[in-house]
Amino acid sequence: MASVAFEHVTKRFGDVVAVEDLDLHVDDREFLVLLGPSGCGKSTALRMIAGLEEPTEGAIRIGEHRVDGVDPKDRDLAMVFQSYALYPHKSVRQNIEFPLRSRKVPPAERTQLVQDAAGQLGLSTLLDRKPRELSGGQRQRVALARAIVRRPAVFLMDEPLSNLDANMRTATRAELVELHQRLGTTFVYVTHDQVEAMTMATRVAVMSEGSLQQLGVPQEVYDRPANVFVAQFIGSPPMNVVPGPVAAPLGVGRDDVVVGIRPEHLMIGTAGISAIVRVVESLGHERHVLCEADGHRLIVRCPAHGDAPVEGDAVHLSARPEHLHLFDASSGQRVA
Amino acid sequence: MAVPVQAGGAEVVVGRRKREWPLAVILLLPSAVVFGLFVFYPLARTIQLGMYRSDPFGGLGRYVGPSQYWDVLTSESFLRSLGVTLKFAALTVPTGLGLGLGLAVLGHQQLRGIGVYRTIFSSTVATSVAVASLMWLTLLNPSIGLVNQALTKLGHEPIIFLQRPGWALVSVAMATVWQNLGFTFIVISAGLQSVPDELLESARIDGAGPWRRFREVTLPLLSPTLLFAFVVLSINAFQTFGQVDLLTHGGPLHSTELLVYHVFQRTSNDPSTAAAEAVVLFGIVLLLTLVQLRVLERRVHYGD
């Protein structure tokens, strides 16, 4: 049980700044998701907690202890890698047992702990198999079992679901949330998948180009994105962002702002921004109407059934004032 | 209707095979001629020669049959030479593997200028046996050699490396280990690169120190590579000739007379016995090669 804190941490690889002045406090028992596109520095941040990379500047704390410079094994944490990093020549049992043997846990206790961990993840019947004899989902469970077996203070996960197929991923998301609740341990979870962030995180930290963009509860980040990057990164399809003058019919019209409107908040009617329908995508449960207004693309989310425009139609798009997000045109930061 | 269809399919295949025969022959001919002329024909003649007893004038001599192979296998000189060869393999293979592994692990570190060391460590693959042997001949020279100069500086008597029965084989082994080191280094380095970083990082987080990481993660994943290098070095040991010819001529007192050199020396005065010995040597190397092929096969299917 421990909190994790980045205190003005910067990491440079030669001339490349991977993480810039990251100041972030992860509470004890929190499920914090580091979210961002590839190359945004989220994995580097995670690896700095693990001790696989050392910060160039700043401090990292786990609980009360400053850990930068401390060997990974003395940080009391476990990590699940994207590739699972299972030892191919060891059986499932030996894989799960490895952290215990490294730390000289007596054999009798080891057996008990391995059985507990395997039982929790439904691996009890697979203990004598080799990783290559397991499915992707089972391998992922072995990696999780190996992480929980020692009851570390902090769990680090680096895109642990990205090698699973879509169904497995959905099922495992719920299991991870359950595991987090059961263990009551701090989780720091790296992903580029906003759905994982929205569904699992107690708080999400959105990163881009090495710096923290926004930190908050998922719903809050979705409802009030701090800047254009966050607005467009979270949400699928992404938020529509158009220059102020284009949104003039909605009552904005200022040219020092850009206006963001989520696709579900745009309504097709008789008043508002005039646009031409370019493509209508049907997803089964809903339809996405891609429109073009003054050279800008706008996506409208419509119900799957009922009237909808077709390609080439001239339409008018409107939105309620409380659904408009205003961002500064030059900095991209939220104004209202 | 599956059966006729299948039969028809088979006929089509047979028909195509028949049509492609001439092309296959044309394509295979060049290598068949080269191999036939320079490998299979000499091999067949050697096996045949091994069943004759040489006459003093260099002719084929009298047919004595396959029994000569048994005579050769049990002859004192052949067994002595086989013993020397085994001792030579025992001296060169484990040392070569150990040093190669050590250098490869050193060369695997991410250090400034490591490329220079990697190049130096692998450079012996680009050295011919003749050059390597001459270099060692000079290094081991009793009066001007660097090794003896160093020994004298340390207060030790000079050692006549290549003329003492106890030292000669060790000296040839040293030259051979050095010569093979580049190959071993390259092969093991390649093996090390195939060990995923994430496994070692995971082991580090899981509390394994450098030694445990090496023993429990790196070494097992490297074992197919090490097995491969082991077999190749063993075959090399059984085929060693150049170093012996240039450094010791098999002496003193036959103490460095490895199998190939032994056969070579026999050829001039007793070609048929030499032929029989060569065939036995061929059998030994063939066996090692089969082991090697099995190893390579396993290497391909290793891991997940």
Same domain, A42 and A76: yes
> Given this model, what pLDDT does residue B299 score?
54
Would you state the structure tokens that stand for residue B95, as one six-digit string?
């040392």
Angle in degrees, 0-180, between the axes of helices B219-238 and B76-107, rounded to the nearest 10: 140
- Based on the structure, what is the number of domains in chain B? 1
- Give residue A284's domain range: 238-328
Asked whether the beta carbons of residue B205 and residue A89 sit closer than 8 angstroms, the reply is: no
ipTM score of the complex?
Answer: 0.85
> Given this model, what pLDDT does residue B248 score?
87
> Given this model, what pLDDT does residue B296 score?
66
> Given this model, what pLDDT does residue B9 score?
56
User: Whole-prediction pTM value?
Assistant: 0.80
Q: Measured between CB atoms, does B142 come within 8 Å of chain A?
A: no
Same domain, A264 and A205: no
Would you state the structure tokens that stand for residue A271, as one six-digit string?
């008043």
| CATH number of the domain that residue A248 is part of | 2.40.50.140
Asked whether the beta carbons of residue B221 and residue A88 sit closer than 8 angstroms, the reply is: yes
What mean pLDDT, rounded, does chain A reach? Answer: 92
Q: Specify the residue for token string 């800008």.
A: A296
pLDDT of A167-188, one tens digit each?
Answer: 889 989 999 999 999 988 999 9
Contact A309, A205 (CB under 8 A): no
> Given this model, what pLDDT does residue B8 score?
52
- Among A188, A204, A229, the domain boundary falls at A229
pLDDT of B150-180, one tens digit each?
Answer: 888 888 777 777 788 888 899 899 999 999 9
Same domain, A91 and A60: yes
- B16 assigned to some structural domain: no
- A131 assigned to some structural domain: yes
What mean pLDDT, rounded, does chain B reach? Answer: 85
| CATH number of the domain that residue B174 is part of | 1.10.3720.10
Same domain, A220 and A252: no
Same domain, A225 and A243: no
Same domain, A12 and A148: yes
Which among A77, A87, A132 has CB closest to B205?
Answer: A77
Identify the closest residue of chain A to B220 by CA–CA distance.
A89
Distance CA A41, CA A22 (A): 10
pLDDT of B75-88, one tens digit each?
Answer: 898 999 999 999 99
Same domain, A220 and A265: no
CA-only gyration radius of chain A, Å = 24
- B69 assigned to some structural domain: no
> Given this model, what pLDDT does residue B68 score?
85
Q: Above 60 in pLDDT, residue A10?
A: yes
Q: Above 90 in pLDDT, residue B5?
A: no
Closest CA of chain B from A139, distance in Å: 11
Same domain, A106 and A180: yes
- Chain B, window 209-268: residues with a beta carbon less than 8 angstroms from a chain A beta carbon: 209, 212, 216-217, 220-221
Mean of the pLDDT values across residues A297-315?
88
Distance CA A191, CA A194 (A): 8
Asked whether the beta carbons of residue A73 and residue B212 sit closer than 8 angstroms, the reply is: no
Which among B199, B207, B220 has CB closest to A73?
Answer: B207
- Based on the structure, what is the number of domains in chain A? 2
Under DSSP, is residue A244 helix (H, G, I), strand (E, B) or coil? helix
Among A122-126, A286-290, B18-22, whose mean pLDDT is lowest?
B18-22
Q: Above 50 in pLDDT, residue B304?
A: no
Asked whether the beta carbons of residue A79 and residue B212 sit closer than 8 angstroms, the reply is: no
Same domain, A99 and A212: yes
Chain B neighbors of A89, CB-CB under 8 A = 220-221, 303
- Among A206, A229, A252, the domain boundary falls at A229
pLDDT of A231-279, one tens digit each?
Answer: 999 988 999 999 988 888 888 778 889 999 999 999 988 888 989 999 9
> Given this model, what pLDDT does residue B58 score?
62
Whether the CA torsion A110, A111, A117, A123 is positive or negative: it is positive
- Give residue B141's domain range: 75-299
Closest CA of chain A from B290, distance in Å: 25
Chain A neighbors of B198, CB-CB under 8 A = 81, 83, 85
Would you state the structure tokens that stand for residue B39, as one six-digit string?
């490998």
- B200 assigned to some structural domain: yes
Same domain, A141 and A208: yes
Mean of the pLDDT values across residues B35-39?
94
Mean of the pLDDT values across residues A58-67?
92
Same domain, A85 and A119: yes
Asked whether the beta carbons of residue B207 and residue A99 sit closer than 8 angstroms, the reply is: yes
